[in-house]
């Protein structure tokens, strides 16, 4: 039996709320946001003479006892807001993040914390549904999509440490915070189980062993048409709205339809990414990927007035396609899943991976015939094949070199 390590992970599931429960949860989320803004105003006005936490804690207790709208927020959730706000300032002082800011109603994701796992009382009803206790709401059903540690008999080892309720365009969800026991990193032999991955647009993920992971459009033709129509309606109604005038019901309805369709597309992207990265993490021990500066890759080619860019429309389309693939999130998911399986994720330098022949290792001009075709111009080689496959083989070879030089240690792991 190999060594074990503890990992903190989240497990998201959709909630089945009644109209009354959803309205109460909305009130709790708005109360949590308002409490954050009150704390921010207090600490900002106080400046260097910030009150001690004991004083602020007492003020929160008094406010919850005096204000009905704030009393809707459970006591533990209110304490979690104070703790999160304090942590935000600590992260700012230590240089890990920017200073906390005011949370506006339109730009803030509604959320409520349940920091105590003992308040949840999670049970599984049957194969598709579970039940969870939410403070001030009672027992609520949630969609059972993954076994939770400490709940399912024979399930993963570990326990639930808390939860967070989050709302998006598709409704309310619960994210369970879990503590799991997994294999310690780099405890498996990667000699015969390694792969290089090349990320692209036509082929999202190309593997060095010849495999690929592809997907279709995130929205159907009908959904794309509805999205375009809603965007046109929103633009027209926004143009007709006077400055300072509140948005009409028709404008808000158009925006809600846009948010719903975009949230649906994002959900499908995440589903594909999770399934794909899980399969790769279970199938290989050593995985090598390119170290790409994605933010620099999707910069606009518009240029300036004195020096305008060229092929701006084509570059804009390419940038949109790269952003739609969410390469960074794919690698982030792959990193922690490989770590949970006891494997290693290595980032290799990107220069030369698509221009160098993976058979002879020589870079010759003109070898990259097209976006999908690679033909080595070295007279002693002449290898030809798919360009993505060639790049993935180069990435795999570079990953093996780095892993061997590091003595099977983690070179860089996300």
pLDDT tens per residue across span 315-348: 788 888 888 888 889 999 998 888 888 788 889 8
Name all contacts of 232-241 with Cβ < 8 Å and 24+ positions apart. 234/258
Extents of the domains making up the chain:
4-17+113-183, 21-106, 194-217+269-405
Strands 194-199 and 286-291: parallel
Exposure class string for 85-121: b at 16+ Cβ within 10 A, else e: beebeeeeeeeeeeebeeeeeeeeebbbbbbbbeebe
| For range 34-47, the mean pLDDT | 83
Of 386 and 153, the one with more pLDDT:
386
Percent of the chain with pLDDT over 70: 89
Q: Which residue matches tokens 């006591």? A: 75
Instruction: Report pLDDT digits (tens) over 63-112.
Output: 888 888 888 999 899 999 989 988 988 898 888 888 889 998 878 899 99
- In the CATH scheme, what is the code of domain 194-217+269-405? 3.30.420
- The whole-angstrom separation of Cα 281 and Cα 208 is 15
Beta bridge partners of 133: 139
* Predicted pLDDT of residue 59: 80
Please state the pTM of the whole predicted model: 0.79
Instruction: Read off the pLDDT of each residue in 249-270 and give the average, rounded to a whole number.
Output: 91
Report percent pLDDT > 90 for the chain.
28
Residue 411 has pLDDT above 50, yes or no: no
State the Cα–Cα distance between residues 133 and 126, nearest whole angstrom.
Answer: 17
Q: Band of the pLDDT at 227, cuts 50, 70, 90?
A: very high
- 370 and 388 in contact (C-beta within 8 Å)? no
pLDDT band at 412 (very low <50, low <70, confident <90, very high): very low
Q: Is a pLDDT exceeding 70 seen at residue 115?
A: yes
Q: Residue 326 and residue 201: Cα distance in Å, rounded?
A: 11
The yes-or-no verdict on residue 258 having pLDDT over 90 is yes
> Angle at which helices 312-325 and 327-340 pack, to 10 degrees?
20
Q: For residue range 144-202, what is the model confidence (pLDDT) as tens digits?
A: 988 888 887 766 778 899 999 999 888 899 999 988 876 665 556 666 788 889 888 88
pLDDT of residue 147: 84
Q: How much is the pLDDT for 410?
A: 42
Span 297-316, mean pLDDT?
72
Q: What is the pLDDT of residue 203?
A: 87
């Amino acid at each position: 039996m190999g060594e074990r390590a503890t990992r903190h992970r989240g497990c998201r599931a959709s909630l089945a709320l009644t109209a009354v429960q959803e309205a109460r949860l909305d009130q709790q989320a708005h109360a949590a946001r308002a409490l954050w803004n009150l704390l921010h105003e207090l600490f900002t006005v106080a400046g260097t003479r910030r009150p001690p936490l004991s004083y602020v804690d007492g003020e929160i207790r008094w406010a919850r006892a005096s204000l009905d709208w704030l009393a809707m927020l459970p006591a533990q959730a209110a304490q979690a807001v104070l703790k999160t706000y304090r942590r935000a300032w600590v992260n700012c002082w230590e240089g890990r993040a920017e200073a906390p800011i005011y949370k506006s109603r339109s730009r803030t994701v509604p959320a409520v914390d349940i920091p105590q796992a003992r308040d949840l009382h999670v049970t599984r009803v049957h194969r598709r549904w579970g039940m969870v206790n939410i403070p001030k709401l009672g027992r609520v059903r949630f969609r059972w999509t993954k076994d939770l540690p400490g709940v399912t008999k024979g399930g993963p080892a570990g326990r639930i440490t808390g939860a967070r309720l989050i709302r998006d365009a598709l409704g309310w969800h619960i994210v369970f915070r879990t503590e799991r026991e997994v294999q310690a990193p780099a405890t498996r032999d990667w000699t015969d189980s390694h792969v290089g991955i090349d990320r692209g647009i036509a082929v999202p993920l190309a593997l060095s062993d010849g495999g690929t992971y592809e997907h279709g459009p995130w929205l159907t033709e009908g959904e794309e048409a509805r999205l375009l129509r809603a965007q046109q309606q929103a633009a027209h109604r926004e143009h007709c709205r006077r400055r300072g005038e509140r948005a009409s019901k028709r404008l808000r309805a158009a925006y809600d339809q846009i948010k719903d369709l975009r949230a649906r597309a994002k959900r499908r992207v995440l589903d594909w990414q999770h399934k794909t990265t899980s399969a790769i993490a279970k199938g290989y021990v050593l995985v090598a990927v390119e170290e790409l500066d994605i933010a620099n890759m999707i910069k606009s080619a518009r240029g300036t007035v004195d020096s305008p860019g060229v092929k701006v429309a084509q570059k804009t389309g390419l940038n949109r396609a790269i952003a739609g693939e969410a390469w960074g999130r794919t690698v982030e998911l792959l990193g922690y899943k490989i770590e949970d399986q006891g494997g290693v994720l290595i980032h290799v330098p990107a220069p030369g991976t698509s221009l160098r022949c993976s058979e002879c290792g020589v870079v010759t001009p003109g070898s990259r015939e097209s976006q999908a075709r690679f033909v080595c111009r070295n007279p002693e080689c002449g290898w030809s094949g798919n360009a993505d496959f060639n790049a993935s083989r180069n990435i795999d070879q570079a990953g093996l070199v780095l892993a061997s030089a590091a003595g099977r240690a983690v070179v860089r792991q996300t």
